[in-house]
A and B are shown apart, each in its own frame.
Chain A
């Protein structure tokens, strides 16, 4: 039996405490209104057009019309093009829209600049008012992004750790169905890690409810939940049969309940099998695992559309579900490896040898490459065809998230492929730990890349709110997982494959 070491418990509490402080700081420092945003933008030394925007209103009252018009054209080029491409109807609608962000790129803004200039010459007075309104719109846009920041940070960390335990659950179910002969000694470790799933599901569901019910004014994570936006956005209107809050939250509830039900019964049967005289509970587990895998792959796909892809409701990709799956599946396997290595080092896993570790490392290696394959396939197909409505997704990411976007490939592909290709390295504890930490950090950044551009746009930063959120959920994860590990023996007794697994040697 494992006993939760008091040191690790204290450590997890410290992480949670620091995390809560970080999250709180993130929410407290988020701007409340447009005036605050204006101050923030004015204070930003690097933003030339922001600075101009801030001074613009003062100038506007005194300067001659010509100068004023020039300034307005320049500083509003971004905002104008943004509104235009979002069909120019509802200014608010652009605030988290990928199309709007892309429009900030070079070409559209130049085109709109010219456009603006010709019309502006004719109607200077109108232009003044327009420019003013657009400036307000720009500020509102930035306000929403900045208000989203702590929410998005919380959301990314929450969904990441929840999906890590989902990845472990999927791996566990596959091992059951495949009747793997090597892994039964690790089943209790996997069950311990998936104990985080119910906790994470509750927190995650609460965040979904808070978002969908508009409990907090500052939460604009999902643009399609904003009624004003939908009223003026035909693309989202056309999707509202699927993207509407009641249907969306019911789907979420069904998926979370389904996953948690499998986890609950699978563990219950596994413990019952220990005390049983025959293999009936084992067979039951085999059957429910097979059914779960069918349910999982359908729900996982839909989950990825609902919780991640719908952040950019104008964009769609068909292999997205697989891509998300690969990302958290490899993170889950990595987590199994890390927890196993930790427990082994503390002397709790008598029958786990380097061959088991080696197998886990091979999975880490292989699924990392699989993730890269899907990452590249999604990217390259869209890059190659360059269809505007699809490519905005990557334009945003490459222009605004260049380092995280390509850094994720380095961390999730280049590093593991070079370090884990060596058979001997796959048996060395510190190599596994190092590769595992890089892979987990890389996949956090992967989720960051998926969610942040649609919620905070160019206002992203990995700061107090983001790190605080990660630390909080990491602390919670450690606490829940290691508490659960202490609740049952770490070696299943009557699993039909347990003897083979004990003597597994590669």
Chain B
């Protein structure tokens, strides 16, 4: 089975948004949309599920808070409870105000960095990654919608011509 896709190229984000809505209404499956900048509301128009990255970040923050607490409780209270300048090292809660800056920073550190790494992993980004750009102009001033072709090539071409596309290409994808 051939793996044909259609590239509909636009040069305006408003036209793109309209085209996305029409495509969805006509029940054509949008594989991907490439844009040079974030188009507000595009994800909603495409029907993409909301991100759960924030939930991840919250959990990572909780991990960071736990790490900071466990670390300082072990070092400062359990392992070697020295008297340093009269600070009460008898229990964690007694000396807690002194630990709060570190607890806070560790929470933020874990939440931020792990969330970023999660983002890289989920969106498959790394330094020597091969760019997946179907058309170089999409990083500059063109918008590209990729739609799967299922033996309805003619119908799709005429459909996208009516959505204001400046260029339509049919590509055999490997």
Contact = CB atoms under 8 A, between A and B. Distances in A.
Interface in A358-400: 376, 379-380, 383-384, 386
Interface residues of B, number: 6
Contacts of A383: 97
A421 interface: yes
B58 A384 contact: no
Interface in A405-437: 421, 423
A376 B100 contact: yes
Interface residues of A, number: 8
B97 A386 contact: no
A380 B54 CA distance: 30
B86 A384 contact: no
Interface string B49-80: 00000100010000000000000000000000
Contact of A421 (B58, B86, B97): B58
Contacts of A379: 97
In the A-B complex, the 10 residue pairs with the closest CB atoms: A380-B97, A383-B97, A384-B98, A376-B100, A380-B100, A384-B97, A379-B97, A421-B58, A386-B86, A423-B54
Contacts of B98: 380, 384
Interface of B: 54, 58, 86, 97-98, 100
A450 to B, nearest CB: 19
B interface majority secondary structure: helix
Given A380-B98, A384-B97, A423-B54, 9 more contacts: A376-B97, A376-B100, A379-B97, A380-B97, A380-B100, A383-B97, A384-B98, A386-B86, A421-B58
Contacts of A423: 54
A386 B94 CA distance: 14
A367 B118 CA distance: 29
Contacts of A376: 97, 100
A384 B54 CA distance: 35
Contacts of B58: 421
Nearest to A418: B58
Nearest to B61: A421
A421 B57 CA distance: 12
A383 B87 CA distance: 10
Contacts of B86: 386
A379 B100 CA distance: 12
Which of B54, B86, B97 is packed against the most chain A CB atoms within 10 Å? B97
B54 to A, nearest CB: 8
B58 to A, nearest CB: 7
Nearest to B55: A422
12 contacts: A376-B97, A376-B100, A379-B97, A380-B97, A380-B98, A380-B100, A383-B97, A384-B97, A384-B98, A386-B86, A421-B58, A423-B54
A161 B86 CA distance: 42
A380 B95 CA distance: 11
A447 to B, nearest CB: 23
B50 to A, nearest CB: 9
A389 B21 CA distance: 68
Contacts of A386: 86
A99 B79 CA distance: 37
Nearest to A423: B54
A288 B86 CA distance: 52
Contacts of B97: 376, 379-380, 383-384
A421 to B, nearest CB: 7
Contacts of A384: 97-98
Contacts of A421: 58
Nearest to A505: B41
